[in-house]
Amino acid sequence: MEEKYETRRLTIPAAEAILGREFPVLDHGFIRLVDYMGGDDAIVQAARVSYGKGTKKISEDRGLIRYLMRHRHTTPFEMVELKFHAKLPIFVARQWIRHRTANVNEYSGRYSVLDKEFYIPGPEVIATQSKLNRQGREEVFSAEGAEEVRHILFADATRSYENYLSLLNEDPNNPRSPLDPSKQMLARELARMDLTLNYYTQWYWKIDLHNLFHFLGLRMDPHAQWEIMQYANIMGEMTKVVAPNAYHAFEDYALNAIRITGPELQALRQLLSGTNLSELESLSQTLPTKREGKEFLEKMKDLLGRES
């Protein structure tokens, strides 16, 4: 019989429904939400403690969250945390670990024998090196060319695993004894060197919402590596379940927004110098909230060099 426990902490029914569920990624990988702390309410709670009476001017929680995101008040978002369990190719993990603002615990190849599971990309994502972007892809291979690549990757990964087991020389029924008594047993921490980077590893990855949004902003971008983007897209949907208002604000002000540089700003000023302000006032009314419409007008007046 399943035991039930009561809790006084904030729970989100939609998040509870997906907790622990494995979502497949690539050919053998997965991502699952293991745990979470807080949601939209935690962001609002933290902001109101921090800003005191000033936040009472914003009547709705959604409006407050959007205001915080829009004006880069990031600390309230750090009050929310999500913990994921991911199974991913080693080369994806090495790119992912560049995001150093998370807590990570990875499967140890020093302690355990790795499984014979490796990633072979589908023909639709096997592409040539980009001529403009040194870390990107360009044209998709022909069917014959893609099949040749897949064959080489499969053969090398298979052969490296056979050599890995040979170096280990472990009896699977008694890991402390050699499979071949005439040979020595190489330490696991050394034998793993022979495996290719498309072998799968696993880790637990815990991060606060502010830094998670930074990760998602980079890894959901169309310029991100395709493989890591598949994980990020699913993680984005999970994040939306935990903190929907915060996620929608992230979409509006980060994921689907662009950054304007100083020189670009000067160019826009020249382009819009003859714009009628009344047209902008009408346009401001199409924004999601009155506050956002007002802020839009203030920005445009500054852009045009007009008085508020």
Per-residue model confidence as pLDDT tens digits over 168-214: 999 988 888 999 999 999 999 999 999 999 999 999 999 999 999 99
pLDDT given at position 57 = 47
Could you tell me if residue 211 is inside a domain? yes
Domain end among 145, 178, 197: 197
pLDDT in tens, 101-121: 999 999 888 888 899 999 999
| Of 62 and 2, more confident | 62
DSSP 14: H
Q: Are residues 105 and 204 in the same domain?
A: yes
Total number of domains constituting the chain: 3
Could you tell me if residue 134 is inside a domain? yes
pLDDT given at position 10 = 82
Could you tell me if residue 287 is inside a domain? yes
pLDDT in tens, 9-62: 888 999 999 999 999 999 999 999 999 999 999 999 998 886 655 555 445 888
Q: Are residues 93 and 203 in the same domain?
A: yes
Q: Are residues 84 and 206 in the same domain?
A: yes
Could you tell me if residue 92 is inside a domain? yes
Q: Are residues 54 and 185 in the same domain?
A: no
Could you tell me if residue 2 is inside a domain? no
Domain end among 197, 219, 236: 197
Could you tell me if residue 8 is inside a domain? no
Residue 92's closest CA among 255, 239, 204, 229?
229
Could you tell me if residue 115 is inside a domain? no
Contacts of 55 (CB under 8 A, 6+ apart): 47, 48, 64
* Mean pLDDT for the stretch of residues 117-138: 88
Q: Are residues 142 and 271 in the same domain?
A: no
pLDDT in tens, 137-180: 888 899 999 999 999 999 999 999 999 999 999 998 888 899 99
Asked if residue 98 has pLDDT above 50, the reply is yes
Q: Are residues 279 and 150 in the same domain?
A: no
pLDDT given at position 307 = 59
Q: Are residues 57 and 180 in the same domain?
A: no
Q: Are residues 38 and 67 in the same domain?
A: yes
Residue 110, helix vs strand vs coil: coil
Q: Are residues 86 and 216 in the same domain?
A: yes
Tokens of 129: 């090196």
Query: What is the CATH classification number for the domain harbouring 250?
Result: 3.30.1360.170
Cα 201 to Cα 44, 151, 191, 198, 295, distances in angstroms: 37, 22, 15, 9, 47
Q: Are residues 40 and 150 in the same domain?
A: no
**Which among 176, 219, 259, 269 is annotated as catalytic?**
219
Quick one: angle between helices 277-284 and 290-304, nearest 10?
A: 160
Q: Are residues 219 and 103 in the same domain?
A: yes
Q: Are residues 25 and 101 in the same domain?
A: yes
**What is the span of the domain harbouring residue 102?**
13-110+199-257
Residue 277, helix vs strand vs coil: helix
Could you tell me if residue 3 is inside a domain? no
pLDDT in tens, 251-299: 999 999 888 888 887 888 777 777 777 777 777 888 888 888 888 888 8
To the query of whether residue 159 is one of the catalytic residues in this protein, the response is no
